[in-house]
Structure 1
Amino acid sequence: MASRSTTEKAFQAITIDDEGRVCADIPESACNQEPGNFFKHVGSLALTKSADGLIDPKLVLSWLMTSLGAPVALIGLLVPVREAGALLPQLLTAGFLRRLQRRKWAWAAGSLVQGLAAAAIGLVAISMTGVAAGWAMVIALAILALARSICSVCYKDVLGKTIDKSRRGTATGLAGSIASVSVIVYALILSSNLVDRMLLVTGGLFLAGAAWIVAALLFATLQEEAGATEGGKTALKEAFNNFSYLRDDRQLLRFILTRGLLTATALAPPFMIAVGSEAGEGYDKLGFLVLASALASLCSSFVWGRLSDRSSRKVMVFSALVAAVILAVTSWLAFVGTLGGGFILPVLLFGLMIAYQGVRLGRSTHLVDMADKDTRAAYTALSNTIIGLLLLAGGVFSLIANWFGGEVVLAIMAGMSGLAILAAWGLEEVQRGTK
């Protein structure tokens, strides 16, 4: 009883800003379990977010494959495999996952597989080199991405069933801030010469694997009510039914448009580095990039989460505005040839990462709150699948950069962010009725 009382007090200290606690979007039985579930969500998500930082394909795995002598063509597959593999399968898997009354088990299984895949990449790093190492890592990353797609479909649905709508952004934001601390420590060591470089990166892979496995065990202890299983049809039929939501729900269509335009915040960092005078793949640069990303998350995740609980629409609007300004300034400085001076590029990159965190938390909270328990999983899968296709199509930016320069790509992405402001402005306030 004392432990439960302590949990309740901690929960209220973090989430309650008025007298009493009212659950407007989950049943009373789930409301009674909410304090314990809240911290299980925070713990599980903090562990997986920390693991993501330790295994970052854009930074860590790219450097590792380069060090092992893998060809550039395979290194170029890392981000597409990671992003598309995590998003594209979701439309087909949503139907099967809807048959599960308690989807926490699917999330836990997905997290467990991610942990084993990360450990496999670590084993490759200490036992293979060259083309063989490159292919083995790409395959292991593909398995990790597929497992992640299962977790992505299930997570928002479980979150919506166990945490009330006024506190979901707080849970995810707090988890992001906690994870940032661990990644910052890793990045600081990564930027120093205290530990052998290969040993540190390889050790980080095994640590990421352990974090995913522990998260799976913790998430499995959630008190989740049995949920709706209607719509658990064959994968192809469920896919067609999901696409019908685009016709029937104009707000969903506008949300996906907004999210699609805001992919600029995820795609821009490599081009920002490329147009800087000190672009390259040095180890010190790797440490700096990991540190900049983690610091931005630490400084903004919890704040973005709290603001998203009040108005996820406004969070996306403001994040898009920040991104548009930063990308426009970066493009202009690249055109005039002054981007590489002093700390200009690091400051701009840090600012974009803050906007990126706002985009992630704003759109995640908005999707959960705009859907109900019967449409949440389908909306998530449909949205993520379409965005996965757009991210694959984003490869055209590499061609544009090759023909016209990275500064032109950044100008286009600034325009995308500007259009996202208009698209997000027309979204409904899905948090109406909450403070």
Structure 2
Amino acid sequence: MKKSIWTEQLYDFLNNEEDARSCKDIDENACQYTPKNYFLIMFSNTLTKLGDTLSNPKTVLTWVMSYVNAPVYLISFIVPIRESGSMLPQIVIASYIRTKERRKWVYVIGSILQSFSVMAIGMATLYTSGVKAGWLIITFLIVFSLSRGLCSVASKDVLGKTIPKKKRGKLKGYTVTVSGVLVLAAGLFLMYQARNGADVTFYSYTIFFASSMWLLSAIIYAFIEEFPGETSGGENAWKEAKARISIVKTDTSFRNFIIARSLLLCSALTAPFYVLLAQTYLGKEGYLLGLFILVNGLASIVSAPIWGRMADVSSKKVMFIASLIASTLGIVMVVLIASIPSLRNAFWLYPTAFFILGIAHSGVRLGRKTYIVDMAGGNKRTDYVSVSNTIIGFILLITGGISAAASVISTEGVILILSLLGVLGAYRSYRLPNVE
């Protein structure tokens, strides 16, 4: 099959090192299709990231459930369910994926299921309300989250089989940048619409649009040139899962990565509390939703390419620096609000803090994803991804209770606790070995 010239030229431009044509850690047959696969993965992931933004539980889904008068106790479950539900079953999912020579089709199926699940959430938002709407949204969110688990394991394995080392971090960085531009536009549109009276119908159609992103992503991903890979295991998923979890005991480097990643959750878990602080001191005007989406997208545009290039040199350093930024920000915010009461009502404070947090969280995500892909090859990579995500899923369920605890202790107190854990996460990341 003849490769497209423009993809080769653009690939060389984006990866302008002397070894731009090297194919470290992938099969020789896959090497010739690297430029094509590079952009197919980029476009596919860009669409899903836009879909994620327009149905984000920390912002959009919280706003939507509030509009339909869903109970507060159900709203508090959406973040941990969405995140942990995609991680918990991955160790079993991996046993199935290991039997497949080509694993892109697992991603395609998972992406289609996510599209239908988000569409169902939009339907529940549009045609139901109250407790019924809340439970329907939670139910479809569980289906979405489980489907996301299929894509999470398969995508990392396909990335490792089709894109060489030293190129994966930049690919992720460029993907986040492109999607960040689209998110920026979405945030501006939401801000404009909110000032003109956005209602539940508008937010429902926003969710419908988000669902189409996963469907388009599945179509694009199907065109990736993936060659057959090694297969093993999968005869007994639970038996295989139990055996696989033992690598946490036997592999010291992997165990230390799990500990570091657990502590790095602070950058993700603190995000909704920054939104809550803004709502507490500035009010719950609809334009705030668009503003937070806007600054988060801008943070990705500014930081992702830098994080990506740094991750190809040392992904553990990216994890360390990004976590330290997120933790320092949280501590500084708590001190400022406590010591300077007049700042609490400063309009610029919360979007600025959310922007910095977005930069840090982008680095944490990109760093740890690049690190785990570079740690191992073949089926060992699938094991690492599935085991780590399953363990993190359990930890998320435990720490997810922080959302409920926010009604007992102050929001500032929650941010401070998570930030102190993040400092420890930065230290543990610094102690990890280099894998590049």
Instruction: Say whether the fold is shared (TM-score over 0.5).
Output: yes
Equivalent in the alignment of 1:330: 333
Deviation per CA, 1:324-351: give whole Å up to 9, x if none. 2101101212322354242222212211
Matching of residues 401-412 of structure 1 within 5 Å: 401-412=406-417
Q: In structure 2, which of residues 279, 295, 300 is the aligned counterpart of residue 297 of structure 1?
A: 300
Provide the rounded CA distance (Å) in 2 between the counterparts of 1:32 and 1:395.
Answer: 45
Provide the rounded CA distance (Å) in 1 between the counterparts of 2:52 and 2:19.
Answer: 37
Q: How many residues align?
A: 431
Provide the rounded CA distance (Å) in 2 between the counterparts of 1:195 and 1:223.
Answer: 46
1:381 positional shift: 0.8
Q: What is the one-letter code of the residue matched to 2:301? A: L
> Quick check: 257-266 or 410-419, which moved more?
410-419
Equivalent in the alignment of 2:99: 99
Equivalent in the alignment of 2:109: 109
Provide the rounded CA distance (Å) in 2 between the counterparts of 1:358 and 1:19.
Answer: 24
Unpaired runs of 5+ in structure 2? Answer: none
Provide the rounded CA distance (Å) in 1 between the counterparts of 2:400 and 2:134.
Answer: 20
Contact 1:107 1:155 in 2 (8 A): yes
Equivalent in the alignment of 1:14: 14
Unpaired runs of 5+ in structure 1? Answer: none
| Cα pair distance change 1:33/1:2, threshold 3 Å | closer
Equivalent in the alignment of 2:427: 422
For 2:281, what is the secondary structure of its paired residue? coil
| Cα pair distance change 1:374/1:209, threshold 3 Å | same
Deviation per CA, 1:251-297: give whole Å up to 9, x if none. 11111111100101111122233345526543122112211221111
Q: What is the one-letter code of the residue matched to 1:386? A: I
Alignment of 1:122 onto 2:125: no
Contact 2:81 2:142 in 1 (8 A): yes
Q: What is the one-letter code of the residue matched to 1:250? A: T
Alignment of 1:241 onto 2:243: yes
1:3 positional shift: 6.5
Contact 1:275 1:334 in 2 (8 A): no
Contact 1:332 1:407 in 2 (8 A): no
| Cα pair distance change 1:387/1:133, threshold 3 Å | same
Q: In structure 1, which of residues 207, 211, 214 is the aligned counterpart of residue 213 of structure 2?
A: 211
> Quick check: 401-410 or 21-30, which moved more?
401-410
Provide the rounded CA distance (Å) in 2 between the counterparts of 1:419 and 1:75.
Answer: 30
Deviation per CA, 1:126-162: give whole Å up to 9, x if none. 2222222211111111111110011001111110000
Provide the rounded CA distance (Å) in 2 between the counterparts of 1:255 and 1:261.
Answer: 10
Matching of residues 53-68 of structure 1 within 5 Å: 53-68=53-68
Alignment of 1:340 onto 2:344: yes
Equivalent in the alignment of 2:27: 27
For the aligned residue pairs, the C-alpha RMSD in angstroms reads: 1.8
Q: What is the one-letter code of the residue matched to 1:100? A: K
| Cα pair distance change 1:186/1:399, threshold 3 Å | closer
1:195 positional shift: 7.1
Contact 1:88 1:384 in 2 (8 A): yes
Q: What is the one-letter code of the residue matched to 2:338? A: F
Provide the rounded CA distance (Å) in 2 between the counterparts of 1:216 and 1:105.
Answer: 9
Equivalent in the alignment of 1:377: 382
Provide the rounded CA distance (Å) in 1 between the counterparts of 2:141 and 2:263.
Answer: 26
Provide the rounded CA distance (Å) in 2 between the counterparts of 1:267 and 1:397.
Answer: 9
1:404 positional shift: 3.7
Q: What is the one-letter code of the residue matched to 1:89? A: P
Contact 1:313 1:429 in 2 (8 A): yes
For 1:278, what is the secondary structure of its paired residue? helix
Alignment of 1:149 onto 2:149: yes
1:394 positional shift: 0.8
Equivalent in the alignment of 1:270: 272
Contact 1:63 1:281 in 2 (8 A): no
Equivalent in the alignment of 1:40: 40
Provide the rounded CA distance (Å) in 1 between the counterparts of 2:409 and 2:134.
Answer: 30
Provide the rounded CA distance (Å) in 2 between the counterparts of 1:310 and 1:231.
Answer: 33
| Cα pair distance change 1:400/1:194, threshold 3 Å | closer
Provide the rounded CA distance (Å) in 1 between the counterparts of 2:240 and 2:282.
Answer: 45
1:53 positional shift: 0.5
Contact 1:96 1:234 in 2 (8 A): no
| Cα pair distance change 1:374/1:191, threshold 3 Å | same
Provide the rounded CA distance (Å) in 2 between the counterparts of 1:331 and 1:151.
Answer: 37
1:414 positional shift: 1.9
Matching of residues 72-221 of structure 1 within 5 Å: 72-192=72-192, 193-194=195-196, 196-221=198-223
Q: What is the one-letter code of the residue matched to 1:375? A: K
Q: What is the one-letter code of the residue matched to 2:189? A: I
| Cα pair distance change 1:20/1:348, threshold 3 Å | closer
Contact 2:115 2:211 in 1 (8 A): yes
For 1:116, what is the secondary structure of its paired residue? helix
> Quick check: 251-260 or 74-83, which moved more?
74-83
Provide the rounded CA distance (Å) in 2 between the counterparts of 1:89 and 1:238.
Answer: 13
Contact 1:45 1:175 in 2 (8 A): yes
Provide the rounded CA distance (Å) in 2 between the counterparts of 1:384 and 1:122.
Answer: 28
| Cα pair distance change 1:164/1:20, threshold 3 Å | closer
Deviation per CA, 1:368-420: give whole Å up to 9, x if none. 00111121111101111111111111134346544442222222222111111
Provide the rounded CA distance (Å) in 2 between the counterparts of 1:121 and 1:20.
Answer: 43
Provide the rounded CA distance (Å) in 2 between the counterparts of 1:195 and 1:11.
Answer: 44
Provide the rounded CA distance (Å) in 2 between the counterparts of 1:3 and 1:378.
Answer: 33
TM-score, structure 2 as length reference? 0.94
1:20 positional shift: 5.3
| Cα pair distance change 1:230/1:174, threshold 3 Å | same
Alignment of 1:363 onto 2:365: no
Contact 1:188 1:291 in 2 (8 A): yes
Contact 1:190 1:200 in 2 (8 A): no
